[in-house]
A and B are shown apart, each in its own frame.
Chain A
Amino acid sequence: MPENPSAITREQVAHLGRLARLSLTEDELDRYSAQLADIVAAVARVTEVATPDVPATSHPMPLQNVFREDVPRPSLTQQQALGDAPDAQEGRFRVPRILDEE
């Protein structure tokens, strides 16, 4: 396991915020670094019993791919799909710019 897992720095929290698309405030960086450190220290206990011979379980039920016939079905109209969009234009979602200037 990682060394000293309970140490979570402000910088790490800021990085997590960027990864998770959260524009955190200075106050939040302080608060979350302390709280996340406490929580991580508590949950790191899982490593005590997770020995290599234990297989992982990702889901409670044995899952298999579920297929259906590929036939067209009615779906939302364009108007319905755009009905709750924060911004729409010419039958499409309008988004802020996705590339840097120039």
Chain B
Amino acid sequence: MRADRSSAGADTNGPDADGWDAPGELPDLTRLTAAQLSDLLGNAVVSAREVAQAHLDRIGEVDADIHAFLHVDAEGALAAADAIDAARAGGEPLGALAGVPLALKDVLTMQGVPTTCGSRILEGWRPPYDATVTRRLREAGIVILGKTNMDEFAMGSSTEHSAYGPTRNPWALDRIPGGSGGGSAAALAAFEAPLAIGTDTGGSIRQPAAVTGTVGVKPTYGAVSRYGLVALASSLDQAGPCARTVLDTALLHAAIAGHDPMDSTSLTDPVPDVVGAARTPDVAGMRIGLVRELGGEGYQAGVRQRFAEAVALLERLGADVVEVSCPSFEYALAAYYLILPSEASSNLAKFDGIRYGLRVGDDGTRSVEEVMSLTREAGFGAEVKRRIMLGTYALSSGYYDAYYGSAQQVRTLIQRDFAAAFAQADVLISPTAPTTAFRLGEKLDDPLAMYLNDVATIPVNLAGNAAMSLPIGLAPEDGLPVGLQIIAPAMADDRLYRVGGALERTLFQRWGGLLIEQVPDLSSQQRIPRTSDDTTRQAAR
């Protein structure tokens, strides 16, 4: 199952080898990193069309099982690839990722291509404009293969709240791929795309990365434009890069970040040199803070074990590991589930069946209010309705100060905790999620249990910092991937890549490849039940 990586071996000893110097037969293009594809494309060893076609073929082969995509835009992808090939033949200067394919989360608009946000209320909607992220991807020559599955309006941690059915985890088809960006993460882990875009409001990039053995970054709030990102909670939402290596994630980060006049919350600061940091990983002398409140009780044994090993590894690499305390994090989940529903109930008011999307019950006798109520009742799923009502409740007269007001005060306390922690450490680390991928259906009827998946990722969104999840091994009890979260102060996104790159390089040498190369062959999976130990999983409830 492992790709032949001999060329990335002796000299570089890492996943960052750009080249493919093995002579003769071409490798399986879907197993390569974006950096490797970029090199092959730049040297005209392969065409963008060949690369796009190989990934479309792979999607055709495996996506009936995985269901990472809600819409595959084969025609558009091949046309974009042909345009890149023509530009290259014409000697036009092209970006590093020109011709590399990508899977786009279905919460970002793409002109003329269906954008559903995983909801029935937007079924069939073809946006008349590109999100800024989409436009920047096109300008970078990145070939968009299609739109990926997600929990409806990004509300969930499993993709089971998609109106179009769940995505399955390529590591074990009976497990969740995380959420809300489970489609993007699964597309990477199933080798359907080397790059993907996610969005992270409370962990929707990082938790799917953790449970699928891939890499995902939530950039600093405001670093990537939200224009054309269908809003869940405007003060928390942030789009970001997903890939199978730290360097690929950095290359994509650089392609999408930067100021956008179309988003009034977009930062004007220059984007940190994330690619440079990924290419020169080093933690020697760096102060790394272990967050005492994230990672103890309630975390699966195998998650704790792999995390402890990664900490020891960072120390061996010369990092100065210190323990920090963030006592208010205990209240982050509660604050988040007041702030998020409040903002969501307001943002989702625009889905009223008037200007676009679904309209139900307009039979000529009903009032506009009745039609709106019937449309929203039919168009929204259970989790979306729950959060809209929770937000409506938290914002209603008599409860506003106690709930929404208090939650905003907790947000201040969390920011203070981060400020104090970053006075002692350059970055903070924790497990990304309390457990490995749980079984489909396991938490579907227990909203509070589902919310606990994001207990370690949510504080970052409340404060607006940057964070990464990267794979650090498989949990011994179930053989499923474990993710490590690195948190950096706002506008210091480059530190994520410096630390993540160092850890990835060392683990690559230990494993003789990337963790993701150990993902089981899909064709054999349903016949080989995975071992599991349910008792350890109860700990996180």
Contact = CB atoms under 8 A, between A and B. Distances in A.
B490 A76 contact: no
Name the 7 nearest CB pairs between A and B, nearest first. Answer: A60-B464, A86-B359, A50-B406, A56-B408, A23-B373, A50-B409, A1-B402
Nearest to B364: A96
A17 B362 contact: no
25 contacts: A1-B402, A2-B398, A16-B392, A22-B380, A23-B370, A24-B377, A25-B377, A32-B389, A36-B390, A39-B448, A42-B448, A43-B335, A43-B403, A44-B334, A44-B402, A45-B334, A49-B409, A54-B413, A58-B235, A60-B490, A61-B490, A84-B355, A85-B355, A96-B366, A96-B371
A54 to B, nearest CB: 4
User: Which of B333, B334, B407 has most A Cβ within 10 Å?
Assistant: B334
A39 B356 CA distance: 32
Contacts of A8: 393
A76 B128 contact: yes
Interface string A68-87: 10000000100011011111
Interface residues of A, number: 58
Given A23-B370, A55-B409, A86-B353, 18 more contacts: A5-B399, A13-B389, A16-B389, A21-B373, A25-B377, A36-B389, A39-B448, A43-B335, A43-B338, A43-B407, A45-B331, A46-B406, A46-B407, A48-B331, A50-B407, A96-B368, A98-B367, A100-B367
The A contact surface, by secondary structure, is loop
A93 B355 contact: yes
Nearest to A97: B367
A34 B55 CA distance: 46
A35 B462 CA distance: 24
Contacts of A49: 328, 331, 409-410, 413
Interface stretch (B10-18, B241-249, B261-269, B283-291): B261-269
A23 B377 contact: yes
Interface string A11-53: 0110011111111110010001001101110111111111100
Contact of B448 (A38, A58, A60): A38
B357 A86 contact: yes
B132 to A, nearest CB: 15
B147 interface: no
Contacts of A95: 354, 368
A31 B194 CA distance: 42
A12 B389 CA distance: 10
B175 interface: no
Contact of B388 (A22, A39, A54, A61): A22
Nearest to B393: A16
A81 B385 CA distance: 28
Contact of A47 (B355, B366, B402, B490): B402
Contact of A20 (B362, B392, B405): B392
A42 B332 CA distance: 12
A39 B393 CA distance: 12
B356 A84 contact: yes
Interface in B483-538: 490
A84 B389 contact: no
